[in-house]
Structure 1
Protein backbone atom coordinates (compact mmCIF):
# COMPACT_ATOMS: atom_id res chain seq x y z
CA UNK A 1 0.00 0.00 0.00
CA UNK A 2 1.28 3.46 -0.84
CA UNK A 3 2.02 6.01 1.87
CA UNK A 4 -0.58 8.38 0.37
CA UNK A 5 -3.30 5.74 0.55
CA UNK A 6 -2.40 4.90 4.15
CA UNK A 7 -2.45 8.60 5.09
CA UNK A 8 -5.84 9.08 3.38
CA UNK A 9 -7.33 6.08 5.20
CA UNK A 10 -5.97 7.35 8.51
CA UNK A 11 -7.53 10.78 7.95
CA UNK A 12 -10.87 9.18 7.06
CA UNK A 13 -10.75 7.20 10.29
CA UNK A 14 -9.99 10.31 12.35
CA UNK A 15 -12.82 12.20 10.63
CA UNK A 16 -15.31 9.40 11.28
CA UNK A 17 -14.21 9.18 14.90
CA UNK A 18 -14.68 12.90 15.52
CA UNK A 19 -18.17 12.81 13.97
CA UNK A 20 -19.12 9.90 16.19
CA UNK A 21 -18.11 11.92 19.25
CA UNK A 22 -21.16 14.17 18.84
CA UNK A 23 -24.67 12.80 19.33
CA UNK A 24 -28.27 13.99 19.64
CA UNK A 25 -27.85 14.33 23.41
CA UNK A 26 -25.14 16.98 22.80
CA UNK A 27 -27.71 19.31 21.20
CA UNK A 28 -30.28 20.72 23.59
CA UNK A 29 -33.31 22.84 22.86
CA UNK A 30 -33.18 25.85 25.20
CA UNK A 31 -36.03 28.04 23.94
CA UNK A 32 -39.09 27.78 21.66
CA UNK A 33 -41.68 30.48 20.96
CA UNK A 34 -44.38 30.01 18.33
CA UNK A 35 -47.73 31.39 17.30
CA UNK A 36 -49.99 31.31 14.27
CA UNK A 37 -50.76 34.75 12.82
CA UNK A 38 -52.87 36.01 9.93
CA UNK A 39 -50.66 37.77 7.38
CA UNK A 40 -53.40 39.03 5.07
CA UNK A 41 -56.08 41.65 5.55
CA UNK A 42 -58.41 40.64 2.71
CA UNK A 43 -58.27 36.85 3.09
CA UNK A 44 -57.47 34.28 5.72
CA UNK A 45 -53.82 33.28 5.36
CA UNK A 46 -52.56 32.01 8.68
CA UNK A 47 -48.86 31.19 8.99
CA UNK A 48 -46.53 30.08 11.75
CA UNK A 49 -44.20 32.65 13.28
CA UNK A 50 -41.61 31.73 15.83
CA UNK A 51 -38.05 31.35 16.96
CA UNK A 52 -36.02 28.73 18.78
CA UNK A 53 -32.59 28.39 20.32
CA UNK A 54 -30.41 25.32 20.63
CA UNK A 55 -27.18 24.75 22.51
CA UNK A 56 -24.46 22.82 20.70
CA UNK A 57 -22.39 21.10 23.41
CA UNK A 58 -20.23 19.24 20.88
CA UNK A 59 -16.53 20.05 20.68
CA UNK A 60 -16.94 20.91 16.99
CA UNK A 61 -19.41 22.55 14.65
CA UNK A 62 -22.15 20.20 13.37
CA UNK A 63 -25.27 20.25 11.23
CA UNK A 64 -28.51 19.82 13.15
CA UNK A 65 -31.82 18.52 11.81
CA UNK A 66 -35.01 19.51 13.60
CA UNK A 67 -38.55 18.15 13.52
CA UNK A 68 -41.55 20.37 14.24
CA UNK A 69 -44.89 18.73 15.01
CA UNK A 70 -48.36 20.22 15.31
CA UNK A 71 -50.49 18.20 17.76
CA UNK A 72 -54.25 18.11 18.26
CA UNK A 73 -56.02 18.03 21.64
CA UNK A 74 -55.52 14.25 21.89
CA UNK A 75 -51.77 14.55 21.29
CA UNK A 76 -51.96 13.11 17.77
CA UNK A 77 -49.73 14.58 15.06
CA UNK A 78 -51.67 16.76 12.63
CA UNK A 79 -48.74 18.03 10.57
CA UNK A 80 -44.98 17.40 10.69
CA UNK A 81 -41.99 19.04 9.03
CA UNK A 82 -38.24 18.36 9.22
CA UNK A 83 -35.62 20.98 8.41
CA UNK A 84 -31.98 21.96 8.92
CA UNK A 85 -31.96 25.40 10.63
CA UNK A 86 -28.51 26.28 9.27
CA UNK A 87 -29.10 24.57 5.91
CA UNK A 88 -25.90 22.69 4.99
CA UNK A 89 -23.70 24.78 7.29
CA UNK A 90 -22.32 23.45 10.55
CA UNK A 91 -23.46 25.14 13.76
CA UNK A 92 -20.52 26.06 16.01
CA UNK A 93 -20.41 25.08 19.68
CA UNK A 94 -22.56 27.34 21.86
CA UNK A 95 -25.99 28.91 21.41
CA UNK A 96 -27.65 29.19 18.02
CA UNK A 97 -31.01 30.85 17.37
CA UNK A 98 -33.15 30.32 14.28
CA UNK A 99 -36.52 31.12 12.79
CA UNK A 100 -39.46 28.73 12.78
CA UNK A 101 -41.47 30.93 10.41
CA UNK A 102 -43.58 28.92 8.02
CA UNK A 103 -42.05 25.53 8.92
CA UNK A 104 -45.45 24.15 9.87
CA UNK A 105 -48.63 24.29 7.82
CA UNK A 106 -51.59 25.75 9.70
CA UNK A 107 -54.44 23.48 10.74
CA UNK A 108 -57.19 24.73 13.07
CA UNK A 109 -57.02 21.51 15.12
CA UNK A 110 -53.42 22.23 16.26
CA UNK A 111 -53.36 23.05 19.98
CA UNK A 112 -49.68 22.37 20.72
CA UNK A 113 -46.40 22.58 18.83
CA UNK A 114 -43.39 20.39 19.65
CA UNK A 115 -39.85 20.82 18.38
CA UNK A 116 -37.07 18.25 18.71
CA UNK A 117 -33.59 17.44 17.42
CA UNK A 118 -33.68 14.36 15.15
CA UNK A 119 -30.24 14.18 13.55
CA UNK A 120 -26.66 15.46 13.86
CA UNK A 121 -24.44 15.51 10.79
CA UNK A 122 -21.02 16.97 10.04
CA UNK A 123 -21.03 18.89 6.75
CA UNK A 124 -17.68 19.04 4.93
Structure 2
Protein backbone atom coordinates (compact mmCIF):
# COMPACT_ATOMS: atom_id res chain seq x y z
CA UNK A 1 0.00 0.00 0.00
CA UNK A 2 2.84 2.37 0.84
CA UNK A 3 4.50 1.60 -2.49
CA UNK A 4 1.34 2.58 -4.36
CA UNK A 5 1.19 5.91 -2.52
CA UNK A 6 4.86 6.65 -3.30
CA UNK A 7 4.36 5.76 -6.95
CA UNK A 8 1.24 7.99 -7.10
CA UNK A 9 3.18 10.93 -5.62
CA UNK A 10 6.01 10.46 -8.14
CA UNK A 11 3.53 10.35 -11.03
CA UNK A 12 1.66 13.37 -9.67
CA UNK A 13 4.84 15.50 -9.46
CA UNK A 14 6.39 14.20 -12.68
CA UNK A 15 5.30 17.28 -14.72
CA UNK A 16 6.92 19.59 -12.16
CA UNK A 17 10.15 17.55 -12.25
CA UNK A 18 10.19 17.86 -16.06
CA UNK A 19 9.53 21.62 -15.86
CA UNK A 20 12.65 22.14 -13.71
CA UNK A 21 14.74 21.76 -16.84
CA UNK A 22 12.88 24.63 -18.54
CA UNK A 23 12.73 28.41 -18.10
CA UNK A 24 10.25 30.72 -16.43
CA UNK A 25 9.57 30.61 -12.70
CA UNK A 26 5.87 31.30 -13.24
CA UNK A 27 5.37 28.22 -15.40
CA UNK A 28 7.26 26.05 -12.90
CA UNK A 29 5.16 27.33 -10.03
CA UNK A 30 1.92 26.71 -11.90
CA UNK A 31 3.06 23.21 -12.81
CA UNK A 32 3.89 22.52 -9.15
CA UNK A 33 0.51 23.94 -8.06
CA UNK A 34 -1.51 21.70 -10.37
CA UNK A 35 0.65 18.72 -9.40
CA UNK A 36 -0.45 19.36 -5.83
CA UNK A 37 -4.06 19.51 -7.03
CA UNK A 38 -3.66 16.17 -8.79
CA UNK A 39 -2.14 14.67 -5.62
CA UNK A 40 -5.08 15.91 -3.55
CA UNK A 41 -7.32 14.24 -6.12
CA UNK A 42 -6.35 10.90 -4.65
CA UNK A 43 -8.91 11.62 -1.96
CA UNK A 44 -12.14 9.83 -2.98
CA UNK A 45 -14.18 13.04 -2.61
CA UNK A 46 -12.46 14.66 -5.61
CA UNK A 47 -12.57 11.68 -7.91
CA UNK A 48 -10.46 10.41 -10.78
CA UNK A 49 -11.73 13.11 -13.21
CA UNK A 50 -10.33 15.90 -11.01
CA UNK A 51 -6.98 14.09 -10.70
CA UNK A 52 -6.69 13.65 -14.46
CA UNK A 53 -7.68 17.25 -15.23
CA UNK A 54 -5.16 18.78 -12.79
CA UNK A 55 -2.42 16.44 -14.02
CA UNK A 56 -3.03 17.40 -17.67
CA UNK A 57 -2.89 21.12 -16.79
CA UNK A 58 0.40 20.53 -14.93
CA UNK A 59 1.84 18.86 -18.05
CA UNK A 60 0.76 21.86 -20.14
CA UNK A 61 2.69 24.30 -17.92
CA UNK A 62 5.68 21.96 -17.92
CA UNK A 63 5.65 21.97 -21.74
CA UNK A 64 5.49 25.79 -21.76
CA UNK A 65 8.54 25.95 -19.46
CA UNK A 66 10.47 23.55 -21.69
CA UNK A 67 9.49 25.50 -24.81
CA UNK A 68 10.69 28.73 -23.16
CA UNK A 69 14.10 27.16 -22.59
CA UNK A 70 14.37 26.06 -26.22
CA UNK A 71 13.28 29.54 -27.42
CA UNK A 72 15.95 31.21 -25.29
CA UNK A 73 18.59 28.85 -26.62
CA UNK A 74 17.49 29.50 -30.19
CA UNK A 75 17.59 33.28 -29.66
CA UNK A 76 21.02 33.01 -28.04
CA UNK A 77 22.38 31.08 -31.03
CA UNK A 78 20.84 33.65 -33.39
CA UNK A 79 22.44 36.56 -31.51
CA UNK A 80 25.81 34.85 -31.54
CA UNK A 81 25.50 34.27 -35.30
CA UNK A 82 24.59 37.91 -35.92
CA UNK A 83 27.46 39.14 -33.73
CA UNK A 84 29.92 36.85 -35.54
CA UNK A 85 28.67 38.04 -38.94
CA UNK A 86 29.07 41.67 -37.92
CA UNK A 87 32.55 41.01 -36.60
CA UNK A 88 33.59 39.30 -39.84
CA UNK A 89 32.13 42.11 -41.91
CA UNK A 90 33.91 44.74 -39.82
CA UNK A 91 37.24 42.94 -40.17
CA UNK A 92 36.98 42.64 -43.97
CA UNK A 93 38.44 45.41 -46.19
CA UNK A 94 35.06 46.09 -47.78
CA UNK A 95 33.45 46.51 -44.35
CA UNK A 96 36.14 48.98 -43.24
CA UNK A 97 35.74 50.92 -46.50
CA UNK A 98 31.96 51.17 -46.05
CA UNK A 99 32.33 52.24 -42.43
CA UNK A 100 34.76 55.01 -43.38
CA UNK A 101 32.43 56.17 -46.16
CA UNK A 102 29.48 56.35 -43.77
CA UNK A 103 31.51 58.38 -41.31
CA UNK A 104 32.52 60.78 -44.07
CA UNK A 105 28.94 61.19 -45.23
CA UNK A 106 27.63 61.88 -41.73
CA UNK A 107 30.34 64.41 -40.98
CA UNK A 108 29.27 68.08 -41.49
CA UNK A 109 31.76 70.75 -40.56
CA UNK A 110 30.93 73.97 -38.72
CA UNK A 111 32.19 75.99 -41.66
CA UNK A 112 29.66 74.39 -44.02
CA UNK A 113 26.79 75.13 -41.64
CA UNK A 114 27.93 78.75 -41.21
CA UNK A 115 28.22 79.23 -44.98
CA UNK A 116 24.72 77.85 -45.58
CA UNK A 117 23.26 80.19 -42.94
CA UNK A 118 24.90 83.23 -44.57
CA UNK A 119 23.65 82.25 -48.05
CA UNK A 120 20.07 81.71 -46.86
CA UNK A 121 20.13 84.95 -44.85
CA UNK A 122 21.23 87.04 -47.86
CA UNK A 123 18.60 85.36 -50.06
CA UNK A 124 15.86 86.11 -47.51
CA UNK A 125 16.85 89.80 -47.28
CA UNK A 126 16.82 90.17 -51.07
CA UNK A 127 13.39 88.51 -51.34
CA UNK A 128 11.87 90.79 -48.67
CA UNK A 129 13.30 93.94 -50.31
CA UNK A 130 11.96 92.88 -53.72
CA UNK A 131 8.48 92.24 -52.36
CA UNK A 132 8.39 95.64 -50.65
CA UNK A 133 9.51 97.42 -53.81
CA UNK A 134 6.86 95.58 -55.83
CA UNK A 135 4.03 96.34 -53.41
CA UNK A 136 4.76 100.02 -52.72
CA UNK A 137 3.58 101.50 -56.10
CA UNK A 138 0.57 99.22 -56.14
CA UNK A 139 -0.45 100.21 -52.61
CA UNK A 140 -0.07 103.89 -53.48
CA UNK A 141 -2.30 103.48 -56.53
CA UNK A 142 -4.93 101.65 -54.49
CA UNK A 143 -4.91 104.37 -51.84
CA UNK A 144 -5.47 107.12 -54.43
CA UNK A 145 -8.30 105.14 -56.04
CA UNK A 146 -9.94 104.63 -52.64
CA UNK A 147 -9.77 108.38 -51.95
CA UNK A 148 -11.42 109.13 -55.28
CA UNK A 149 -14.18 106.63 -54.59
CA UNK A 150 -14.68 108.08 -51.09
CA UNK A 151 -15.30 111.53 -52.58
CA UNK A 152 -17.57 110.32 -55.40
CA UNK A 153 -19.70 107.64 -53.75
CA UNK A 154 -21.60 109.87 -51.27
CA UNK A 155 -22.64 112.23 -54.10
CA UNK A 156 -23.87 109.31 -56.22
CA UNK A 157 -25.80 107.80 -53.35
CA UNK A 158 -27.47 111.07 -52.49
CA UNK A 159 -28.48 111.64 -56.11
CA UNK A 160 -29.71 108.10 -56.79
CA UNK A 161 -31.48 107.24 -53.50
CA UNK A 162 -35.26 107.52 -54.04
CA UNK A 163 -37.58 109.20 -51.54
CA UNK A 164 -39.14 106.99 -48.90
CA UNK A 165 -42.56 105.63 -49.85
CA UNK A 166 -45.47 104.87 -47.57
CA UNK A 167 -46.20 101.31 -46.47
CA UNK A 168 -49.46 99.53 -47.19
CA UNK A 169 -51.62 98.79 -44.15
CA UNK A 170 -54.35 96.34 -43.31
CA UNK A 171 -56.98 99.10 -43.68
CA UNK A 172 -55.96 99.47 -47.36
CA UNK A 173 -57.50 96.06 -48.12
CA UNK A 174 -61.12 94.96 -48.20
CA UNK A 175 -62.90 91.61 -48.62
CA UNK A 176 -65.64 91.38 -51.21
CA UNK A 177 -68.27 88.65 -51.52
CA UNK A 178 -67.27 86.58 -48.50
CA UNK A 179 -69.41 83.43 -48.62
CA UNK A 180 -69.09 80.64 -46.02
CA UNK A 181 -70.76 77.39 -47.07
CA UNK A 182 -70.99 73.80 -45.77
CA UNK A 183 -71.03 70.97 -48.32
CA UNK A 184 -70.77 67.18 -48.24
CA UNK A 185 -67.61 65.93 -49.89
CA UNK A 186 -68.44 62.20 -49.67
CA UNK A 187 -70.85 60.02 -51.66
CA UNK A 188 -71.46 56.97 -49.49
CA UNK A 189 -71.16 58.52 -46.01
CA UNK A 190 -71.57 62.01 -44.58
CA UNK A 191 -68.35 64.08 -44.27
CA UNK A 192 -69.23 67.79 -44.23
CA UNK A 193 -66.55 70.29 -45.28
CA UNK A 194 -66.27 74.06 -45.49
CA UNK A 195 -65.93 76.55 -48.33
CA UNK A 196 -64.86 80.01 -47.15
CA UNK A 197 -64.61 81.94 -50.40
CA UNK A 198 -64.28 85.59 -51.23
CA UNK A 199 -62.18 88.21 -53.01
CA UNK A 200 -59.37 90.23 -51.42
CA UNK A 201 -59.05 93.74 -52.96
CA UNK A 202 -55.94 95.93 -52.76
CA UNK A 203 -56.85 99.61 -52.38
CA UNK A 204 -53.23 100.64 -51.71
CA UNK A 205 -51.06 102.56 -54.18
CA UNK A 206 -48.43 99.78 -54.02
CA UNK A 207 -48.48 96.09 -54.82
CA UNK A 208 -48.82 94.16 -51.59
CA UNK A 209 -50.48 91.20 -49.87
CA UNK A 210 -52.76 90.95 -46.85
CA UNK A 211 -53.33 88.46 -44.03
CA UNK A 212 -56.91 87.58 -43.10
CA UNK A 213 -58.41 85.93 -40.04
CA UNK A 214 -61.62 83.89 -39.99
CA UNK A 215 -63.46 83.07 -36.75
CA UNK A 216 -66.21 80.45 -36.50
CA UNK A 217 -68.81 80.98 -33.74
CA UNK A 218 -71.80 79.09 -32.43
CA UNK A 219 -75.31 80.46 -32.10
CA UNK A 220 -74.50 82.16 -28.76
CA UNK A 221 -71.36 83.95 -30.01
CA UNK A 222 -68.85 81.46 -28.57
CA UNK A 223 -65.69 80.91 -30.59
CA UNK A 224 -65.38 77.35 -31.94
CA UNK A 225 -62.34 77.69 -34.22
CA UNK A 226 -60.02 80.36 -35.67
CA UNK A 227 -57.68 80.33 -38.65
CA UNK A 228 -55.50 82.94 -40.37
CA UNK A 229 -53.36 83.04 -43.49
CA UNK A 230 -52.18 84.94 -46.54
CA UNK A 231 -54.59 84.14 -49.38
CA UNK A 232 -52.11 85.12 -52.11
CA UNK A 233 -49.20 83.51 -50.25
CA UNK A 234 -46.00 85.46 -51.07
CA UNK A 235 -47.44 87.05 -54.21
CA UNK A 236 -48.29 90.76 -54.24
CA UNK A 237 -51.71 91.95 -55.39
CA UNK A 238 -51.53 94.85 -57.82
CA UNK A 239 -53.12 98.18 -56.82
CA UNK A 240 -56.90 98.13 -57.45
CA UNK A 241 -56.89 94.38 -58.23
CA UNK A 242 -58.66 91.51 -56.43
CA UNK A 243 -57.55 88.00 -55.56
CA UNK A 244 -60.08 85.17 -55.21
CA UNK A 245 -59.48 82.84 -52.28
CA UNK A 246 -60.91 79.81 -50.48
CA UNK A 247 -59.79 79.36 -46.86
CA UNK A 248 -62.11 76.41 -46.25
CA UNK A 249 -59.41 73.68 -46.42
CA UNK A 250 -57.67 75.31 -43.44
CA UNK A 251 -60.67 74.90 -41.09
CA UNK A 252 -62.27 71.60 -40.06
CA UNK A 253 -66.06 71.60 -39.88
CA UNK A 254 -67.55 71.07 -36.44
CA UNK A 255 -71.13 70.83 -35.28
CA UNK A 256 -72.45 74.07 -33.90
CA UNK A 257 -70.74 76.38 -36.36
CA UNK A 258 -73.31 79.04 -37.20
CA UNK A 259 -71.53 82.27 -38.13
CA UNK A 260 -68.16 83.06 -39.71
CA UNK A 261 -66.49 86.46 -39.20
CA UNK A 262 -63.57 87.65 -41.38
CA UNK A 263 -61.06 90.41 -40.64
CA UNK A 264 -57.86 91.75 -42.24
CA UNK A 265 -55.11 91.75 -39.62
CA UNK A 266 -51.88 92.56 -41.51
CA UNK A 267 -50.38 93.75 -44.82
CA UNK A 268 -46.96 93.34 -46.39
CA UNK A 269 -45.10 94.01 -49.61
CA UNK A 270 -43.24 90.85 -50.67
Instruction: Judge same fold: TM > 0.5, yes or no.
Output: yes
After superposition, residues 9-20 of structure 1 pair within 5 angstroms as: 10=161, 14=164, 17-18=165-166, 20=167
Question: Does the 8 A contact of 1:68 with 1:103 survive in 2?
Answer: no
The alignment partner of 1:25 has SS state of helix
- Contiguous gaps of at least 5 residues in structure 1: none
- The alpha carbon displacement at 1:105 in A equals 1.4
Structure 1 stretches of 4+ with a deviation exceeding 3 A read: none
Which structure would you say has the larger RCO, counting Cα contacts within 8 Å and 6 or more residues apart?
A: 1
**Alignment correspondent of 1:104:** 251
Hey, which of these two has a bigger chunk of helix by percent?
2
Hey, which of these two has a bigger chunk of strand by percent?
1
- The alpha carbon displacement at 1:26 in A equals 0.9
In the TM superposition, what whole-angstrom CA distance separates every residue of 1:17-39 from its partner, at most 9, and x where no partner exists?
43x2x211111122111211110
TM-score normalised according to structure 1 size? 0.80
In the TM superposition, what whole-angstrom CA distance separates every residue of 1:58-117 from its partner, at most 9, and x where no partner exists?
001111111111111111210011111001111111222222332321111110011111
CA distance in 1, matches of 2:243, 2:212: 13
Question: Does the 8 A contact of 1:64 with 1:117 survive in 2?
Answer: yes
CA distance in 1, matches of 2:204, 2:235: 15
Over alpha carbons, which structure has the higher Rg? 2
Question: Do structure 1's residue 51 and structure 2's residue 197 form an aligned pair?
Answer: yes
Aligned residues: 115
Question: Do structure 1's residue 41 and structure 2's residue 187 form an aligned pair?
Answer: yes
- Contiguous gaps of at least 5 residues in structure 2: 1-149
- The alpha carbon displacement at 1:50 in A equals 3.5
TM-score normalised according to structure 2 size? 0.39
Question: Do structure 1's residue 115 and structure 2's residue 262 form an aligned pair?
Answer: yes
